[in-house]
Amino acid sequence: MRPATPLICAFIDEHKERFGVVPICRALAIQGVAIAPRTYWAHRSSATSKRALWDTTITEILAGYYQPDADGKRPPESLYGSLKMWAHLQRQGIPVARRTLERIMRHNDWRGVMRARRPPRTTEPDPAAARTPDLVGRRWRVAATNLLDVADFTYVRLDTSGFGYTAFVVDAYAGLIPGWECSMVKDTGFVERALRHAATFRARQGHPFSDTIHHSDYAEICVKPRNRETACLGGLAEEFLGLKMFKA
């Protein structure tokens, strides 16, 4: 990889008094580092700041770690994030400021390997919660739509960082999702809103909940809804009391 122009010009500055600019440019071209004398003089006339030259120097050093070589390989230090790389350069005698290093790495989209975060737990069994009867009997095949709705919620990894949560209600017969809700907090109200969404959707279709069973597995959290109105929402059977929920 060809060194950056400021580095080449700095090299010429160090040796031009002894060899001259043109002979140095010729020698560099033979070594595969081509630079025209007019490029050197144009660069000199632009009066590059010390900060720009230092940034270029650090960029070249970091590129040696984070950019793959001719064989497509990187050194072990390519796994370092900004903090470990800054400490590594300090040990190598390169007194770069930590914020300067972070800025250059961010500009070039260089980052280390982050330890995988454990996914959040969506299940915390409550031994004190009353178990509701299994009205389904583990039989998931039903004869028609609007007879059995299965609800659950799960976490969703975000592009930025962290996790969000999605609750959904699924018709066991049609595979339709009549209700869903997204939230950054896993609480009871978040799941209740998904059920209300499903009830509203069914009512608009002319098929309101009537003798519909809402199933939830006791392997998940079984916390009663906060009020009776929600538990009897739209004619749902009493197994709704076993809905997987978190206390708000």
Beta bridge pairs of residue 164: 156
- C-alpha 179/C-alpha 171 separation (Å) is 10
Categorize the per-residue pLDDT at 241 as very low, low, confident or very high, splitting at 50, 70 and 90.
very low
SS3 193: helix
Most trustworthy range by pLDDT among 40-54, 88-102, 198-212: 88-102
Categorize the per-residue pLDDT at 94 as very low, low, confident or very high, splitting at 50, 70 and 90.
very high
Segment (H or E) for 158: none
Which of these ranges, 12-16, 102-106, 126-130, has the smallest mean pLDDT?
Answer: 126-130
Where does 20-172 have alpha helices with state H? Answer: 21-30, 37-45, 50-66, 82-91, 98-107
Q: Is the pTM of this model over 0.85?
A: no
Which of these ranges, 14-23, 71-80, 180-189, 209-218, has the smallest mean pLDDT?
Answer: 209-218
Question: What is the mean predicted confidence (pLDDT) over 147-152?
Answer: 81
Whether the pLDDT of residue 247 is over 60: the answer is no
pLDDT in tens, 162-185: 788 898 888 888 888 999 999 888
- C-alpha 225/C-alpha 187 separation (Å) is 11
Whether the pLDDT of residue 80 is over 80: the answer is yes
Whether the pLDDT of residue 235 is over 50: the answer is no
Whether the pLDDT of residue 30 is over 80: the answer is yes
Question: What is the mean predicted confidence (pLDDT) over 90-117?
Answer: 87
E strand spans, 124-229: 148-157, 163-171, 179-183, 213-215
